[in-house]
Amino acid sequence: MNLEFDEQQITEIFYRWYNGEKVSSLLEELEVEKIPNCSLAKHFPPIALETPCRNCGENLYAFRSNPPHFKKTNALYDISTAHCLNCEHVESETCQCTGCIEILKERNKLIAQHEQERLQKRGIQLENLFNEITPIDSDNIEIEKLIYLYSLCLQSTCEDVCLISPLSASEAPFTPSTEGQRECIMSLLDYIAPLCEDEELLQFNNNGHATWEGDQVSYRIKTGDTNHLDYLEGLLKAIKDRLKRANIEEMSRFIALCERLMICECIDYLRFQRESYHLPHEVGAKTTALFKKLIYNLRTDQIYSVIWRSCREATAYKVKNGLPKHHASNLIISSIDSYVDKATQKNWEIRSYYRDSSKRQSTLSRVIFNKILELDGHGVEHTLQDVITKINSLNKIEKSEESGAQIDMRETSLETESIIK
Ligand SMILES: [Zn+2]
Ligand SMILES: [Zn+2]
């Protein structure tokens, strides 16, 4: 409904309205039925703008300003109400005129096209990653890598044997620490290709080079067609066969892997205990060397009890003597060492602790201790000496004729860089 006044009257009405006169009294005087303040401007003819409509080219029109808008902009019309009288277009993102609906349709079509192109490109990039990996040949791959691959497949919840589910989706940790997990994955990059739809988790740069979150993506491997259980059994058998036939160098590598895993369990428990006492956790050569020495004769779960004891004592000492945290934290290492020395001299029996319920046995530990070595327990109930004896006995089955192939305890264990920290 447009109110019929001439331009002079309209100017006067708006002038009075802007000057604070009440709409109700104005309307009464003009003998017009009641109209709410907010829509009063819409009841007067709109003002023609110089801007043409983007759909049909006719001039746009805008309604006159209401008092707040006039105060703010000093403009006689409100540009946000611009509209076309010819094609019903309004200057708004949500305009539903025929022209705008057509434009929106075109835009959506273009977006869909881009999205399809993007997905196609990503599919090709992911496929390229897969094409670059080497099929797994269990006879010609380093024994450690074969063990890591078997562990990955064992941990995976995918039915498809060629697809490994993200490590983060599993209840059990892959290795005792996340650093170790990352290094296992890094060592397998020739054999596993990451796969993930989420562009945040797996990104490609302009050269098609991928970076990803190691434990949050899936991985693909190249295997023959076979079902999951058969494949897992085949891998385990291959590992055991390799150990039966292993030469000294290969056995030493396997022992070194067991040794690193056991050291890693100790360091991880040390971290756990230090954190529970709010002490800083730093691992240097001294700590690693200490655990390397202790695991030979002590079960990991015995070392747990010594760590627990030393953390408790160092904390008590810190409180009593007002020591800084890092000092107390360093004390733990010498305290563990001296307690074990004392226990050995005095023939004390060192108690053994269970794994803490929050620190589940890792898949790699389960594979090595329970699956390959067929030992009981949760990977912490054995000394390295027990492990070496077991490895020798497995190797002996095939090598009973060649006594020279036996590993003479720990002297030959390789000093390789720690893969599992
Ligand atoms: Zn128009
Ligand atoms: Zn429109």
pLDDT digits (tens, 9 = 90+) for 149-201: 999 999 998 888 899 999 999 989 999 988 889 999 999 999 999 999 999 99
Angstrom distance (rounded) from CA 131 to CA 151: 23
Three-state secondary-structure class, residue 218: strand
Residue 100 lies in a domain: no
Let me know whether 224 and 253 are in one domain.
no
* Domain end call among 68, 95, 122: 95
Q: Quick one: pLDDT band at residue 25, thresholds 50, 70, 90?
A: confident
408 pLDDT above the threshold of 70: no
Rg (CA), the chain: 38
| Interval 141-159: pLDDT, tens | 999 999 999 999 999 988 8
Q: How many domains does the chain have?
A: 3
Let me know whether 144 and 212 are in one domain.
yes
396 pLDDT above the threshold of 80: no
Angstrom distance (rounded) from CA 86 to CA 421: 74
Let me know whether 252 and 316 are in one domain.
yes
Q: What is the mean pLDDT of the chain?
A: 88
Angstrom distance (rounded) from CA 252 to CA 388: 9
Residue 187 lies in a domain: yes
Q: How far is the CA of 319 from the centre of ligand 2 (A)?
A: 75
Q: How far is the CA of 96 from the centre of ligand 1 (A)?
A: 12
Residue 210 lies in a domain: yes
Burial of 91 (0-12, 13-18, 19+ CB in 10 A): middle
Residue 212 lies in a domain: yes
Let me know whether 170 and 313 are in one domain.
no
Residues 6+ apart with CB under 8 A from 98: 55, 87, 88
Q: How many CA atoms lie within 13 A of 18 on its CB side?
A: 19
Let me know whether 407 and 338 are in one domain.
yes
Sole residue written with tokens 């190691």: 214
* Domain end call among 95, 116, 145: 95
Q: How far is the CA of 86 from the centre of ligand 2 (A)?
A: 11
> Which residue range is the domain that position 268 belongs to?
246-412
268: part of which helix (H) or strand (E)?
Answer: helix 248-276
Residue 80 lies in a domain: yes
Q: Which of 135, 212, 211 is nearest to 168 (CA)?
A: 212
Beta bridge partners of 59: 52
**Nearest-ligand number for the alpha carbon of 103:** 2
Angstrom distance (rounded) from CA 58 to CA 80: 17
Q: What percent of the chain has pLDDT over 70?
A: 92
Angstrom distance (rounded) from CA 268 to CA 173: 12
Both structure tokens of 81: 């109400």
Q: How far is the CA of 52 from the centre of ligand 2 (A)?
A: 12
Residues 6+ apart with CB under 8 A from 188: 145, 148, 149, 152
**Nearest-ligand number for the alpha carbon of 85:** 1
* Domain end call among 33, 65, 95: 95
Beta bridge partners of 84: 60
Q: How far is the CA of 42 from the centre of ligand 1 (A)?
A: 19
